[in-house]
Amino acid sequence: MAQAQRRVGLVLARASRVLGEEPFYHEFIEGLERVLTPAGVSVLVKVVTDRQAENDTYERWAERRRIDGVILVDLGPDDDRVALVDRLGLPAVVLGAPSAADGLPTVWTDDAGYARDAIRFLAGRGHQVIGQLSGPLGFVHSRLRRQGAQAEAAALGVRLVQAEGDYSYESGRAAVAELLAAGPTAIVCDNDLMALAVLDALRERGLAVPADMSVVAWDDSSLCQLATPPLSAISHDVAGIGELAANAMLDAMAGKPPAVYQAPAAHLVARASTN
């Protein structure tokens, strides 16, 4: 008798976005499948509207034995999903900071350190007032990026002005007026979609990039490279992060002790959106 194929679940709770808008998750899932498919494991992706719907999905999956493990993303402080998957007996891997994982295996990116790199890069080019457009501050990684940016700005004696988005294009457009009121000459955005929205909003206001405003994105997808002008970005090996998460998932499914897996190092790629 053929053995039933194993499955790993990934649930994305997105009130205002769909998976097709997010290059990060396309690349991440591609990396997952590079490792999991040869191991006889498929990836089941579900997009839901909110966190309660996400938790309900884990409950149903566990009850029906539909999956053999889950990957948790966008964790907040004291996130209830950590206890939930433990209660359900689901092997799990966290994509995020170990501080939010409560002992689960973790694939970790140095969000605070890379945010400091972005501020240092812009300050080194003479920018004295820098805007930061973060993701939702309910997420630990967004808080770490904000804290890293604040620490580096303080260390370098530059002024940092901050606004919060939700990673969507619409939230990026909405935040531009708030940031411009504080008079920055550069803006760092927490993902590529918000950075594209900032480019469009600046263009509509008659502001030239980079002559009037420099812009830096997080997540160096093809959208950054094809933008007008091409976006400087903190470039991550997202597919490599997916491969690392897949190997961590296989370890968890095999009952190996939890570990912290360091994501491949990111670096800032300078393009025409900064001067």
Identify the CA nearest to 184 among candidates 146, 149, 214: 214
Helix/strand/coil for 100: helix
**Taking 70 as the threshold, does the pLDDT of residue 2 lie above it?**
no
The pLDDT confidence band at residue 9, using thresholds 50, 70 and 90, is very high
For the chain, domains (ranges, CATH) are 6-109+237-265 (3.40.50.2300), 111-235 (3.40.50.2300)
pTM of the entire predicted model: 0.92
17: its two tokens: 């976005």
209: its two tokens: 């990039």
**Taking 70 as the threshold, does the pLDDT of residue 4 lie above it?**
no
Burial of 254 (0-12, 13-18, 19+ CB in 10 A): exposed
Burial of 189 (0-12, 13-18, 19+ CB in 10 A): buried
Question: How far apart are the C-alpha atoms of 213 and 229, rounded to whole Å?
Answer: 12
pLDDT tens profile 55-72: 999 999 999 999 999 999
**Taking 70 as the threshold, does the pLDDT of residue 16 lie above it?**
no
**Residue bearing the bigger pLDDT, 138 or 4:** 138
